[in-house]
Copies of this chain bind each other. A is one copy, B any other.
Amino acid sequence: MTTSDGKQAIGFIGLGIMGALMAGHILEAGHQLHLYNRTRAKADDLVAHGATWHDNPGRVAEHCDIVFTMLGYPPDVEAVFLGPDGLVARARPGTVLVDMTTSSPDLARRIAEAAAARDLGALDAPVSGGDVGARAGRLAIMAGGEQTTFEKVRPFFELMGETIAHLGPAGAGQHAKLANQIAIASTMMAVSESIAYAEAAGLDPRQVLDVIGTGAASSFLLVNLGPKMVARDYSAGFFVHHFVKDMEIALDEAARMGLDLPGLHLARKLYRRLTEAGHAEDGTQGIFRLFAETGHTQNRA
């Protein structure tokens, strides 16, 4: 269904904050956009701009050359790809299915096998960069799957992202994203403990962040989320409950490999404590609550 001007029929399933922004770039580039989402209202804006609504994932697949998904949890991915009215069952041979959800590498491999058995292509291609990166079309995209399939999809990745990497076979994109989340997990402890210590010692934490943000202690999280911790601004860029999901997947995979990751274990424990205290809808900087609310800010150097 590629038209004479190179425009293709593209599906997008999962229109949360990230998915809606990513799908929008595809529509803006002039492609036919076919949509499905659990909550239909989230498709209204894109439909008003020319996209086509379908009542289930399989219907989207029947109309498309490439279908992207941006879902919540691995069970959602499994249902959309491998369910009876799912993408693998309904897509025409030659269609490429691209899951951009952060999900399990093992599930990515199972999807790739099921897709291959029906002459479909499949990629796992999770992203980083959040809603800011999605809006600007500047996401980092980490892809796993066959090289030829990756090359077919690359022009669409370039609509959504800036750093686009093919890291290996099916599952490799998910593994790279998990490595990203593992780095974030302990760095978030680092930033929150550093600020908690500075406050407890009676220092001005903003001044401390300005100084230590120039050197070896600096990180994206220290510079960008440190000031939010100081301001007790726990509004969500990336939800605690999604981050806990990612850490659980990473710990499962690491256990499967026989790899012990004590920092990640500890971070997961702290974030679970945060969830149990009712803060699952916080942004990930909410981990600072565990340190800020212990009442030590009255100390002085």
Contact = CB atoms under 8 A, between A and B. Distances in A.
Nearest to A250: B197
Give the oligomeric copy count. Answer: 2
A217 B220 contact: yes
Contact of A210 (B165, B182, B211): B165
A128 interface: yes
10 contacts: A128-B215, A142-B211, A163-B214, A180-B215, A182-B197, A186-B193, A189-B263, A193-B264, A201-B257, A216-B224
Interface in A146-192: 162-163, 165, 167-172, 175-176, 178-187, 189-191
Interface residues of A, number: 78
Contact of A182 (B144, B167, B194, B294): B194
- State the main secondary structure of chain A at its contact with B: helix
A201 B176 CA distance: 9
Nearest to A109: B301
Nearest to A133: B215
A196 B259 contact: yes
Nearest to A108: B301
Given A250-B197, A261-B193, A163 B105 contact: no
A21 to B, nearest CB: 16
